[in-house]
Chain A
């Protein structure tokens, strides 16, 4: 198999696997955080502004790992440096 075919195949598989593995684990973490925040809200409705602000900040922190996965997979698909390098070698 040609090296460029191999690179294309592995890039697409890994782009899917990156999001497919990274997103669900992050989702589990966010679910935990939200469920804890909901029970805290139910116990102390007075502290709603503080709880929801901390929840938003925490969710953003957790979600950034899923976003990293997404960025990596987007780079693999649309801006793959190895693919571009071998295209340049094949073309030039």
Chain B
């Protein structure tokens, strides 16, 4: 019983190991890219729409609606990053019911990489909105003594993001393996159904948390300047 797909090594190319994590990450990416390419190759706007296009439109519209509910503004800025996170995580989590598939999100390397993307994206969105000086001044709010705690909060929430996804997916596969050893008939199916539910919820939570962090970074400035006459601030508040 292995705790992480990092330990399953298919090929060893010198110092670089091609592990199951790497292979199945590429599998998920290939499924996403090929599926989207096949669907978006022939888009139509008529009354008759292909099934694949309908499916993608539903997915993208649902993600846009969720983003709009959280940030209260046009979702187009956040859609590429948050939507990609959600689609990648939900695909790899749902595919974990396929026999022989090791979900790449069950490895701490993948989840750390995703969390690091969020860690970089939060200041990037904040600086793009307010400029570097104004963004970094928010770390001194409400008083300069809070600077270490603000920085610590940035780091710990990134770690929490990574460990949460990893722990949930790892526990799902571990529980399935243990249930298979204890009660092989019918019971593992129930645990797999629970695993599917948890996988989708965790994908939702990961992307919503990323969005909440980004929204906090882009919005912080408006609240501190609430009293000042600020045209962009008024426009953003909506």
Contacts and interface: CB of A to CB of B under 8 A. Distances in A.
A92 interface: no
Nearest to B65: A49
Contacts of A61: 160
A71 B163 contact: yes
A71 B166 contact: yes
B73 interface: no
A60 B118 CA distance: 17
A56 B204 CA distance: 9
Contacts of B174: 74
A64 B208 contact: no
Max chain B CB contacts within 10 Å: which of A49, A60, A63, A70?
A: A60
**What secondary structure prevails in chain B residues at the interface with A?**
helix
Contact of A64 (B3, B160, B201): B160
Query: In the complex, which range does the number of interface residues on chain A fall in?
Result: 10 to 19
A67 B171 contact: yes
Nearest to B174: A74
A21 interface: no
Contact of A57 (B1, B3, B208): B208
Nearest to B205: A60
Interface string A54-74: 001100110110011011001
B3 A78 contact: yes
B90 interface: no
Contact of A71 (B167, B205, B209): B167
Interface of B: 1, 3, 69-70, 160, 163-164, 166-168, 170-171, 174, 201-202, 204-205, 208-209, 212
Interface of A: 49-50, 53, 56-57, 60-61, 63-64, 67-68, 70-71, 74-75, 78-79
15 contacts: A50-B69, A53-B69, A53-B70, A53-B208, A60-B201, A61-B160, A63-B164, A64-B160, A68-B163, A70-B167, A71-B163, A71-B166, A71-B167, A74-B170, A75-B3
